[in-house]
Structure 1
Amino acid sequence: MPVSAAVRARVRGFLPVEAEIRYIFPASWNESVFFVFVVTDAAVTVLTNRMFSRSRPKEIWHVFPRAVRIGPVDTHLIPTFELGGRQFEVHEEYVPVINAADAELSPGALPPDPLSEL
């Protein structure tokens, strides 16, 4: 399920005004602490959520430079990835989102735009 418009609106309050959300996905740590990862053109911002909530950001946990890779995602059993010294769990539907965010960091990894003249 995509991240809702309500969550996106809440997340914007933690980002710089000029920041454009490119990717956003939820993840958890220890199955009890929930995070929202927000990838913009300048940074990867990780927000912690309120207690027992998956969709109400409370504060910024860490801001990484955009050059940081979020993956690779280990897809054995429960998909996991490591960032900032912690291992996070993510629902399998968000693995392509993480892969796409990381692919932007590799020149030539994305296919050419088929409609570039538009």
Structure 2
Amino acid sequence: MPVSSTVRDRVRALLPAGAEIRYIFPASWHETSFFLVVVTESTVTVVANRMFSRTRPRNVWQVFERGVRIGPVDTHLVPTFELGGREFEVHEEYVPVINAADAELAGRDALPPDPLADL
């Protein structure tokens, strides 16, 4: 399920002015701490949610430069990825979001050729 516009607005309040959210997805740590991973053009920001909440961002946990890769995602049993020295769990529906955010780092050369480029 996509992250709601209400949650996006709450997260936007914690980001620098003018930052545009390119990707956002929820993640958890030890099934007790919930985070939102927010990818902007210049950063990957991990936002901690309030205790026992998945939709109430509390503060910025850590900020990484955009050059950091979020994946690869280990899809064995529960999908996980490592970021900032911690292993986060993510719902399988967000694995393509992580892959897309990482694919952007390689630029246009990493994308498959357009099969209908003449249209």
Instruction: Give the structure-1-normalised TM-score.
Output: 0.93
Higher relative helix content = 2
- Post-superposition offset of 1:111: 3.8
Partner residue, 2:110: 109
List alignment gaps of at least 5 residues for structure 2.
none
2:22 corresponds to 1:42: no
Distance 1:27 1:14 in 2: 17
Is the deviation greater in 101-110 or in 68-77? 101-110
Q: How does the TM-score come out when normalised to structure 2? A: 0.93
CA shift, 1:56, in A, is 0.4
What is the number of residues matched between the two proteins? Answer: 117
RMSD: 1.7
Deviations 1:27-61 (A, max 9, x none): 00000000000000000000000001001000000
Q: Give 1:20's aligned amino acid.
A: E
What's the CA shift for 1:83?
Answer: 0.5
Distance 2:92 2:18 in 1: 30
Which residue does 1:3 correspond to in 2?
A: 3
Q: What is the identity, as a one-letter code, of the residue corresponding to 1:110? A: L
Secondary structure of the corresponding residue to residue 22 of structure 2: strand
Q: Which whole-Å CA distance do the structure 1 matches of 2:63 and 2:9 have between them?
A: 19
Q: Distance in 1 between matches of 2:32 and 2:80?
A: 15
Consecutive unaligned residues of structure 1, counting only runs of 5 or more, are none
Change (3 A) 1:74 1:13: same
Q: Which amino acid in 2 is paired with 1:65?
A: E
